[in-house]
């Protein structure tokens, strides 16, 4: 099982992840993606869902019109692991 990152490892990983930040009050990282319209937002979610399923690692997320609010945490480990960092990178790449 993936191990939780230390605070220092988390900060370092976030340095390479544009617009991702620590979630207040829990061991998780988050980002609010803003797209042109609902179609773009839902297209992103569709592509990200396929990647997440392939990675067997799933986001907590909420869509309102053209925004997608994503929170990543490894539930099995109770915090942020390399699995969250990998999915965050993939989501940034999908969003373009």
Ligand X SMILES: C[C@H](O)[C@H](O)[C@H]1CNC2=NC(N)=NC(=O)C2=N1
| Interface ranges with ligand X (CB under 6 A) | 56-58, 74-76
Select 14 or 73, whichever has its Cβ closest to ligand X. 73
Select 37 or 91, whichever has its Cβ closest to ligand X. 91
What is the closest distance, in whole angstroms, from the C-beta atom of residue 66 to ligand X in the complex?
Answer: 24
Measured from each CB, the residue nearest to ligand X is: 76
48 secondary structure, DSSP code: H
What is the number of alpha carbons within 13 Å of residue 94 lying toward its C-beta? 22
Q: Determine if residue 65 is left, alpha or beta; phi over 0 gives left, psi from -120 to 50 gives alpha, anything else beta.
A: left
């Amino acid at each position: 099982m993936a191990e939780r990152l230390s605070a220092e490892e988390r900060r370092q990983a976030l340095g390479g992840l544009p617009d991702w930040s620590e979630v207040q009050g829990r061991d998780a990282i988050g980002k609010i993606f803003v797209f042109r319209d609902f179609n773009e937002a839902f297209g992103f979610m569709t592509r990200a869902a396929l990647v997440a399923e392939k990675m067997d690692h799933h986001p907590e997320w909420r869509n309102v019109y053209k925004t997608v609010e994503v929170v990543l945490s490894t539930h099995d480990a109770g915090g942020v692991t390399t699995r969250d960092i990998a999915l965050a990178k993939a989501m940034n790449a999908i969003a373009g």
